[in-house]
Structure 1
Amino acid sequence: MLYNVSLQVIPIVPEAEVYPVVDKVIDLIRESGVKYVVGPMETTMEGELDLLLGIVARAQEICLQNGATRVLSVVKIDCKAGGVTIEEKINKYR
């Protein structure tokens, strides 16, 4: 079943390093092959829940491996019977 999981990571690093660390997380998401949409505050992914939660876990590790002393994350999960897609949510706005 398809889920939507939105992830916002806030790595505690010097200000000049925030975007480079976040970019590494977005690279992880892209390389995973899941459908995703980058927004100004979070990235929303679509896929099987176990896969998406694995990406969330790996994102924390990437931040720490790239100099974060702490990582604050906001995760939102959307599911419904039969699955949910990003397209059905935003298609009318494109």
Structure 2
Amino acid sequence: MANSLVSVQIIPKTKNGEDTIPFVDEAIKLIMESGLKFEVHPLETTIEGELSTILHLITKMNEKMIEIGSSNVITQVKILYQPAGIQMEDLTGKYR
């Protein structure tokens, strides 16, 4: 069982005021390719997994934003670390 839930919001600054959605799509693509369980929400994406793995993924997401043309990136992160194990379902299952 995963030990963490991490919600992340990537806010890339584009060099010439371009739309940021294609940048965010690239960040979400990296999450999808990671094989980790995740849910995309309107303002953030929540990822379920091992904390160290997710933090490494967030590093890759930031690096990708620069690679594809962002001049800098603000990343907002919320972490629930529970060594005994935690799943998104534990917190939101009753609403589904």
TM-score interval, normalised by the smaller of the two chains? over 0.9
Instruction: Write the mapping of 1:11-90 to structure 2, written as runs, cut at 5 A.
Output: 11-13=12-14, 14-16=17-19, 18-90=20-92
Amino acid of the structure 1 residue aligned with 2:69: G
TM-score (norm 1): 0.93
- The structure whose residues are more often strand, as a share, is 2
Structure 1: 5+ residue stretches without partners: none
The percent identity for this pair of structures is 40
Structure 2: 5+ residue stretches without partners: none
The number of equivalent residue pairs is: 93
Q: Give RMSD over aligned pairs.
A: 1.1
Amino acid of the structure 2 residue aligned with 1:34: L
Measure the CA separation in 1 of the matches of 2:83 and 2:3: 9
- Measured against aligned partners, the alpha-carbon deviations of 1:7-37 in whole angstroms (never above 9, x if no partner) come to 1000001242x00000000000000000001
Measure the CA separation in 1 of the matches of 2:87 and 2:27: 21
SS of the counterpart of 1:40? coil
- The structure whose residues are more often helix, as a share, is 1
Measure the CA separation in 2 of the matches of 1:60 and 1:67: 11
Q: Tell me, yes or no, if the aligned pair for 2:3 and 2:83 is still in contact at 8 Å.
A: no
Amino acid of the structure 1 residue aligned with 2:31: I
